Chain A
Amino acid sequence: MEYSNQRPPQNYSQMDDQKTLDLEESVSETIMRDLRMIAFKLKYVLIPKEQEDNGKELRNWDLWGPLIFCLVLAMTLSFKAESTTTSTKSDVFAIIFVLIWVGAFIVTLNAQLLGGKVSFFQSVCLLGYCVFPINIEAIIIAFFGSYLPFVVKLIPVLLCFAWSAYSSVGFMASLVPPHKKKLAVYPVFLFYLFLSWFSLIV
């Protein structure tokens, strides 16, 4: 079949129109659209009331959100890290970055090995978005930590850790058969514990 001299099918020209629209819009519009999408997903993941369709929105996974939160967390903690040499700051950045991505990978792999039928990136996307509360507590402690006694610092840390864990546990537990739920959920708990601990001690 030759298409070379014929008109292309209708749907191709519609896609072309869409592509030229994308190219014609300004950079700020593209960025705002992406940011709005990230904000929408964030609200969806962190506020359980929004999840009326049982997590179907997560099928449109993206890794921009997780990347932004990971970078913000790593940068906040590495700026705050006390150091006499620059090596400690880069140590902290590297540890947080690797911890988040490798940790999310291993937690998802664990759920898959336990028999969960989940798209790999969907799960990494969810775990990445749930890092947002840890971001909040890291920023709070970075700015106000030196003025607060240790016990007062613990309160936002525990609250944000509980919020992160609670948001992601529902999804992870639903992936695996009932008798294996705790086995899938414990690594998630350990993952956010690691991250919360970092934001507390730095």
Chain B
Amino acid sequence: MQNYGSNNDLDEKGQVMTDQPKIKVKFEPKPKPSACPICTIEYYQKFFDIEQRDVYMRVRCSLLSWKPEFQQCVAKNPDLWGPLWISTTIIFILFAGGNLSRFLLEEDKKHFQYEYNYMYVAVFLVYAMAFVIPIILGFIMKYILKSELGVFDVVCMYGYSLSVYIFVLILCIIPYNEAQWFFLMSGLANSTIFLLVNLWDFMKKSKPTLMIAIPIIVFNVALILCFKFYFFRLIYAVDD
């Protein structure tokens, strides 16, 4: 008896029954492997495979920063939509809000000079914080400190940690020194606690991994100092 397939029974007509139904398979040419897989759109499409509700849940996770729920929220599906558009929104708020804050303080409102440099500095600062620093940290964590988190997981986490600054920076338009410091400090606390709490599982393993907390804290502090002393500096007296 010959073996035609897994099921060798004969049906009533005497023909061999096979488990697989007869399906027509269209021949699809295999996609050409590109020379640079990281440069194709398809590589990044898997980081945009989220829905509106997911973004809302992740932002909510980041605002309630003391709960270490972010990895559950992300569920092994890190996205780049959040980091990209949260950081772009922050750039807009810095540019518009920073100048608005100066305008509110200005006595001579008719001759107010808009500072366009805010745009360049904001782009550099925010994209560095949202992408360059997490990519470097992610590489260090993954390849030197052997973490299970991938580089894009870290980028995703950093991007969502900046979401609190959207609200903080809008409030910082109010031109009162103490108010601005208060809002910036609470933003700093929220953002840093979010990062540390969610990386705690990784950090508590050994002393070297604990050291990763230092650059995280340092960069966050540097960020709000830049916000305060460049974008929202208060002019107390006009120098002649």
Contact = CB atoms under 8 A, between A and B. Distances in A.
Nearest to B109: A150
29 contacts: A82-B111, A82-B113, A82-B114, A84-B113, A88-B116, A92-B116, A95-B116, A95-B119, A109-B41, A110-B48, A110-B84, A113-B44, A113-B45, A113-B47, A113-B48, A114-B48, A114-B81, A115-B45, A115-B49, A179-B52, A182-B52, A183-B50, A183-B55, A183-B81, A187-B85, A190-B92, A194-B92, A197-B96, A201-B96
Contact of B48 (A81, A115, A194): A115
Across chains A and B, which 8 residue pairs bring their CB atoms closest together, nearest first? A179-B51, A113-B48, A91-B116, A182-B52, A114-B48, A113-B45, A197-B96, A113-B44
B121 to A, nearest CB: 13
Interface string B85-108: 100110010001001000000000
A110 B81 contact: yes
B53 interface: yes
B interface secondary structure, majority = helix
A112 interface: yes
Contacts of B96: 197, 201
Contacts of B41: 109, 112-113
Contacts of A143: none
| Interface residue range, chain B | 20 to 34
Given A110-B48, A112-B41, A201-B96, 4 more contacts: A92-B116, A109-B41, A113-B44, A115-B45
B152 to A, nearest CB: 14
A193 interface: yes
A40 interface: no
Contact of B51 (A82, A109, A180, A194): A180
Contacts of B111: 82
A151 to B, nearest CB: 14
A180 B52 contact: yes
Nearest to A84: B113
Contacts of A82: 111, 113-114
Nearest to A150: B109
Contacts of B119: 95
Interface in A11-28: none
Contacts of A201: 96, 99, 114
B100 to A, nearest CB: 9
A153 interface: no
Nearest to B111: A82
Interface string B114-140: 101001000000000000000000000
Contacts of B92: 190, 193-194, 197
Contacts of B85: 110, 186-187, 190
A116 to B, nearest CB: 10
Contacts of B52: 179-183
Nearest to B55: A183
A190 B96 CA distance: 13
A176 to B, nearest CB: 10
A202 interface: yes
Interface string A68-105: 00000000000001101000100110010000000000
